[in-house]
Amino acid sequence: MKILEERIKQDGVVLPGNVLKVNQFLNHQIDPDLMLDIGKEFVNLFGKEKITKILTIESSGIAPAMMTGLLLHVPVLFGRKKKSSTMPGDVYCAHVYSYTKKIENTVTIESKFLNKNDRVLIIDDFLANGEAVSGMLEICQQAHAQVVGVGIAIEKSFQGGAKRIKDQGVHLESLAKIASFDNGQVQFVEESK
Amino acid sequence: MKILEERIKQDGVVLPGNVLKVNQFLNHQIDPDLMLDIGKEFVNLFGKEKITKILTIESSGIAPAMMTGLLLHVPVLFGRKKKSSTMPGDVYCAHVYSYTKKIENTVTIESKFLNKNDRVLIIDDFLANGEAVSGMLEICQQAHAQVVGVGIAIEKSFQGGAKRIKDQGVHLESLAKIASFDNGQVQFVEESK
């Protein structure tokens, strides 16, 4: 997705440890118009799948997921990293390790919001090692819900998570695919251009 | 706002300790079309204020803030409850106590995203004791940014936060105002109907 790649080139900052900081438009300050464009692209890619629900994880997944849900008129469900005080005992959960933050979160979904009749599109802001997406796939499996696809804004292709998920037969699409951060510069995978 | 009040009556669950659970459409599962309606209402109320930025706190404030930002074509900035690993030292922060969760969070905003030229609309999902909004007002004060208004989806009017904030001369508008949870039933403040 050209405008997302251009925005990453313009405003993204490469930090040590292969971390890409996009606080300017996605992870802290959010550009709603860009999020709508991302939502439109996910609708182009997955819109024919009769999606009943969008699944994401707080907090940075919420914005792109919301715009996709708005365009498809389906509910957006976000996993909480801590169990909320207003959540009952009946939940699905998965353990998700964050390599960036070096902590493990337990992601929780109330079981009444996901069931075997759901056709789920999983959306997230970043995919690196694939821990968050794997956790969401696990939650859908617990709910016997069908995952029709995974839509990612920014994939760090060199970290292997995308390959691992596709190898399970999951239809995964990423709008910007990063090949490397060599010399602190963002290099995109050629095929995505 | 009639449709929000109706949705609260239909799907809200009153829990002990004056907690209203709206996990069906706002705090866990989100209804994007309702969020767009909420955004339109905030634009009706504050749209003439030459807003340059929307400020909220993760996670449940993001959805209504995003829709308002989309309609006004201005960036949405969300405060993080934990300092992110990709955040530099140069931040504004405020301590926010959550009576529902019984914990204190340090809400953090990167200082480069807020300055004296900003005209800020603060948006949040709930207002009870006003701790979160007070924290965001404090952050705007640190940044010398002008707060043009505060837009709240659901106000628990009986808990005093709204009065305390209005007494500071802040233009605060809430779309659904709850007078009481007597006998486990949601009673709205009459004037909002």
The pLDDT tens digits of the residues spanning A7-64 come to: 999 999 999 989 999 999 999 999 999 999 999 999 999 999 999 999 999 999 999 9
Q: Does some domain include residue A50? A: yes
Tell me what pLDDT residue A88 has: 64
Dist. CA B80–CA B59, nearest whole Å: 9
Closest CA of chain B from A69, distance in Å: 6
B80 Cβ under 8 Å from any chain A Cβ: yes
Q: Is A132 annotated as a binding residue?
A: yes
Residue A21 sits in a domain whose CATH number is 3.40.50.2020
% of chain B surpassing 90 pLDDT = 90
Interval B53-105: pLDDT, tens: 999 999 999 999 999 999 999 999 999 987 666 666 799 999 999 888 889 99
Judge whether A6 lies within some domain.
Answer: yes
Mean pLDDT of chain B: 94
Q: Which of A19, A58, A76 sits opposite B58 (nearest CB)?
A: A58
Overall residue count recorded for chain B in this entry: 193
Q: Which of A59, A80, A101 sits opposite B62 (nearest CB)?
A: A59
Q: How many domains does chain B have?
A: 1
Cβ within 8 Å, pair A28-B66: no
Work out the minimum CA distance from A115 to partner chain B, whole angstroms: 14
Quote the CA–CA distance of B139 and A22 in Å, as a whole number: 22
Q: What is the DSSP string of B160-182?
A: SHHHHHHTTT--EEEEEEEEE-G
List the single residue in A with minimal CA-CA distance to B31: A75
Q: Smallest Cα–Cα separation from B31: which of A181, A78, A23? A: A78
**Using the beta-carbon criterion (under 8 Å), do B75 and A29 form an inter-chain contact?**
yes
The answer to whether B115 contacts chain A (CB < 8 Å) is no
> Using a CB-CB distance cutoff of 8 angstroms, which residues of chain B are in contact with residue A109?
28
- For residue A34, tell me if it sits in a domain: yes
Whether the predicted pLDDT of B192 surpasses 70:
no
In-domain check, residue A90? no
Q: Looking at the complex, does the CB of residue B15 fall below 8 Å from at least one CB of chain A?
A: yes
Write the CB contacts of A177 (distance below 8 Å, at least 6 apart in sequence).
Answer: A155, A157, A162, A188, A189, A191, A192
Question: Which residue segment(s) compose the domain that A155 sits in?
Answer: 2-80+112-192
**CA dihedral sign, ordered A161, A163, A165, A167:** negative
3-class secondary-structure state, position B121: strand
Predicted confidence (pLDDT) per residue in A178-188, tens digit: 999 999 999 99
> Would you say residue A120 lies in a domain?
yes
Cβ of A76 within 8 Å of Cβ of B19? The answer is no
Query: Which residues of B make up each annotated binding site for xanthine?
Result: 20, 27, 156
A104 found inside a domain: no
Chain B residues within an 8 Å CB radius of A23? 86-87, 110, 113
CA separation for the pair B131, B120 (Å, rounded): 18
B14 touches chain A (CB under 8 A): no
On the question of pLDDT at A192 being above 50, the answer is no
In a domain, A51, yes or no: yes
- Does the residue A169 lie in any domain? yes
Confidence label for A86 from pLDDT (cuts 50, 70 and 90): low
The answer to the question of whether A130 is labelled as a binding residue is yes
CA of A71 vs chain B CAs: smallest distance (Å)? 9
Who among B15, B63, B73 is closest to A66 (CB)? Answer: B63
Q: What is the pLDDT of residue A98?
A: 87
